[in-house]
Amino acid sequence: MPDREKPVRGLQAIHEARELREARKGIPTASNAFWVWSFIGVAVISIFYWRHAQGENDRTRARILAKQRTLAEEAGPRFAELRDKVERFAQLLSKPGPLEEYVDPAAAIGDKGDPTIFKRPGLYLRVAQPNAQTSDKLRAAARESARDAFTACLLHTPHVSDRAGPACHKSKECPRGQICNEIGVCATPSSPYNLRVAYRGMFPLEESWVRDVQTSSEELRLRLRETEIDSLIANDWPVAVGALDAAEYLLLLVDEVPSGWKPKEGDSLEESLSAEVHPVRVGLMELKSGRTLFKLRREVDVHVPVVPGNVEAQRRQILNCALAKDVRESLTVAR
């Protein structure tokens, strides 16, 4: 007898629907297929965008490094020679222990006025003693070094307000021949030329700068580096190179840090020291020969009358002018 069909339990329609679902397992529905293809599409677009962005970054990086090599070839050797002289003199002047004072007759101030060398173009740098003893620390401190009242009072140069020009953030915003100084104002560099601008301008020659460009994968950071080096090449260096080439002397101040003293919160070591009574080492070097024309150690403690306003700035100006007066007297006596 033929096999009898297995009886169906429950409603026939439910049984058939169950069999249909079993048969369709593994076959994507229209809804599932949409999300699968959407995911694949997003993944493909993301990979394409990533590869495109990496290509753009690689091209930007190549442009920046090409500009850096050009700067290194044209300005690197002349700056490296000057930088080495500056750093050797700074390390000599900041050497721990007593300073052996010395004044060359060529730097003495006589009845006929200032020494001839003071009437020529020069360079100026001021750093704290701990920052002057190694090249890395000196370079970092030099990029923040500010010109102060000491030079104007020592050399009897006319006072020109650093705030007289238009406000700026970059030198490219300034008229040709001017730079954006440390307080964000366009100004023409005057002698002695602050080495801060030169050290900032040559930062792209440092290994750390090049390494940052080589390893950065961020588009915005690479754009920032390119804008930075473009501004230096177009604005800062035409002015800086002329000042460096013309300079005949380096006037260097090294601020000693009193034992136990700490800088004011938010200020650099150099900025805080300049408003305090402390010993300062002052040196003058003839750049061409490398000869030391004088080295002195002085500490001035004067009454500082102040008027309402920026008390710290007034203290800095008065103490720096008093220090300059003391140095002038020492040079005059030396004759």
Q: Is 332 left (phi over 0), alpha (psi -120 to 50) or beta?
A: alpha
Least confident of 12-16, 122-126, 166-170, 274-278: 12-16
Instruction: Provide φ and ψ at 27, rounded to 5°.
Output: -100, 115
pLDDT, greater one: 255 or 170: 255
pLDDT, greater one: 156 or 2: 156
Q: Residues 24-31: what's their mean pLDDT?
A: 57
So what's the pLDDT on residue 75?
78
So what's the pLDDT on residue 129?
94
DSSP structural state of residue 257: P
**What does the pLDDT look like over 208-235, one tens digit per residue?**
889 999 888 888 889 888 988 888 888 7
Q: Residues 59-87: what's their mean pLDDT?
A: 87
DSSP structural state of residue 240: H
Coil/strand/helix, residue 238: helix
Q: How far apart are CA 193 and CA 121, in angstroms?
A: 8
Q: How far apart are CA 121 and CA 250, in angstroms?
A: 9
Coil/strand/helix, residue 159: coil
Q: Residues 152-174: what's their mean pLDDT?
A: 72
**What does the pLDDT look like over 91-139, one tens digit per residue?**
999 999 999 999 998 888 876 677 788 888 999 999 999 999 898 899 8
CA distances for 330 relative to 33, 150, 284, 334, angstroms: 91, 15, 13, 6
